[in-house]
Amino acid sequence: MERRGFIKKGLQWAASLLGASFLAYPAFSFMTFRKATKKRIVFHPEDQAGAVTFKEGVYLIREPNEIFALSAQCTHLGCTLNYDAVSGRFACPCHGSVFTLSGKRISGPARKDLYRVPLTKTASGDIEAVLEVG
């Protein structure tokens, strides 16, 4: 084989290998195990004044006897829920699922209630919500 032919073949192999890796990357990245990560959302005392406060994908709900947090992600396909202060319910703008203030499913294509997000209170009065992402 001539030197020019050898170099040409080598470049073709390199280009083929590069193209194959671009095509294979989405398949391999889909098959690999995804590690769930945790995201901390801090509600400072000034954030806790309202009955329902939204921050970074979490609703903090203050009721007379309890403070709890719900994920704002719809359990159908994951759209972010809107809170309707008039009805006191959460409504999904995507396909219309509706949930009570406590997170119970009322109607719509969603089959599960909203997820409760664990809370911890710090010495400084902050409330930390730990949301699982991914």
- Residues in touch with ligand FES (CB under 6 A): 74, 76-79, 92, 94-97, 108-110
Task: Identify which of 55, 109, 57 has the alpha carbon closest to the alpha carbon of residue 99.
Answer: 109
Compare residues 94 and 130 and give the one whose CB is closer to ligand FES: 94
Give the nearest distance from C-beta 110 to ligand FES in angstroms.
5
Comparison of 95 and 116: residue with beta carbon closer to ligand FES: 95
Q: Which of 89, 68, 69, 92 is nearest to 80 (CA)?
A: 92
Closer Cβ to ligand FES, 41 or 75, answer by number: 75
**Closest separation between CB of residue 35 and ligand FES, Å?**
24
- Give the span between the Cα atoms of 39 and 11, in whole angstroms: 46
CA distance 37 to 3: 53
Cα 13 vs. chain centroid, distance in angstroms? Answer: 41
57 or 109: whose CB is closer to ligand FES?
109
CB of 95 vs ligand FES, minimal distance in Å? 3
State the nearest-atom distance from the C-beta of 44 to ligand FES, in Å.
29
Residues contacting residue 37 through CB under 8 Å, at least 6 positions apart:
132, 133, 134
